[in-house]
Structure 1
Amino acid sequence: MRCIKLCGMMIPAQLHAVRSLKVDYVGAIFYEKSPRYAADIPGFSAAFSQVAQEKNTLGVFVNASSDKIYAMSERFPFSTVQLHGTETPEQCRSLRRSFTVVKAFGVDAFFSFSEVAAYEDVVDFFVFDTKCSGHGGSGRSFDWDILHAYGGDTPFLLSGGIGPHTLSAIRDFSHPALMGVDINSRFERAPGDKNMEQVEFFCKEYKGYD
């Protein structure tokens, strides 16, 4: 599978543009401390709602209560929730009654996949990102060979520093649970402002041309 998640969307016009691209998940960040916080942007909800009629939409949260997630889903109709903090397996299991649930983990040379095991049966897929001091992406890659230590059955997206320049490396990387990639900051002119020409190029090269 070659799934693409395009995350950190902020500009309504770019949401409209992504509708014609080979993107499977379109994500918005609802973590107030993120420079890509999208909830207060004029016109964003309407544009996001239109995308939700055609693609899988995703909301990213960090240590948010389930009540807050449900309330935000009333304003922004996402079908998938990505949890990027220290959310418990119990919360994931509960949210999964209403949403597709994704759990993100920051990976470095010292990461132990025993942390992942408790979430195997309560989420739909993982995001393995580069570990950094804060929450969210760093725009840097980690050593993907670390992922060969992951032997679980839950599929995952590869994240962290992925851009047009990494297409060759992505094609060369293989793992039985790899479902695709998560792209964000390497396609930006500024936080949330995507270079849509680069996104389109990447999608066509990664998925192939019709």
Structure 2
Amino acid sequence: MDKNYLAQQYNSKKTLFIKGSRKYDTKSITIFHEYINKFDIQGKKVLDMGCGDGSDLLIIQKQGADVFGIDSSAEMIHEAQKLFSTEKFSTCDFTQTPFPNHYFDIVVSKWAFQTASDIQSIYKEVIRITNDNARFIFLVAHPIRQFIEKTVSPKDYYQQEIVKSVLFDGTLVVEEPSHTFQEYFSPIFLSRFQILEYAEINDTGTERINGDIYPSFFIIHSAKK
């Protein structure tokens, strides 16, 4: 998939995404911040990978953290820069960030990693830019949900395909590559991070195909080994 594709996708759908997220993603936003609030972030350097309009980092900054954000969408970064110092926010690929080695105490991400085709390269970059004992918290679309959203027949869980996710009562459709649990819980991740908490959650922001009940996302709280 073209690396510029997702940036272009969210540039054109920025307003719909921001408005829809604030209305429909309250559950994932609440759980995301509950995980972050379980430890002291005062004075910590925090990076949000896929920061969007910066609304999550605004909450984190109020708790005394030194916040930074990156996103693949230039339009989203433009919105974030309205709230923060511009030099702390940049448009870039998650696998090639502009930060030095061992710079961050905490890396967080919400509804972002599933937009990338290569999860392992993201992990390698997180390992590079975090210090010893850093916390790593991320929330992503659940692989089961992505499998259900595949439209080809027969469906192949293991084959990475672009799936269309219908969000916010049908007001927004985004395209994302599907992933497996093996990609998220890979040897790279498990060798460098200890899982402290994990949860699978059913949210209201995504389409419920055939009325079935299944998790919309999962969230992981981990510590760097």
**TM-score of the pair, normalised by structure 2:** 0.33
Q: Of Structure 1 and Structure 2, which has the larger fraction of its residues in helix?
A: 2
Q: Of Structure 1 and Structure 2, which has the larger fraction of its residues in strand?
A: 2
**TM-score of the pair, normalised by structure 1:** 0.34
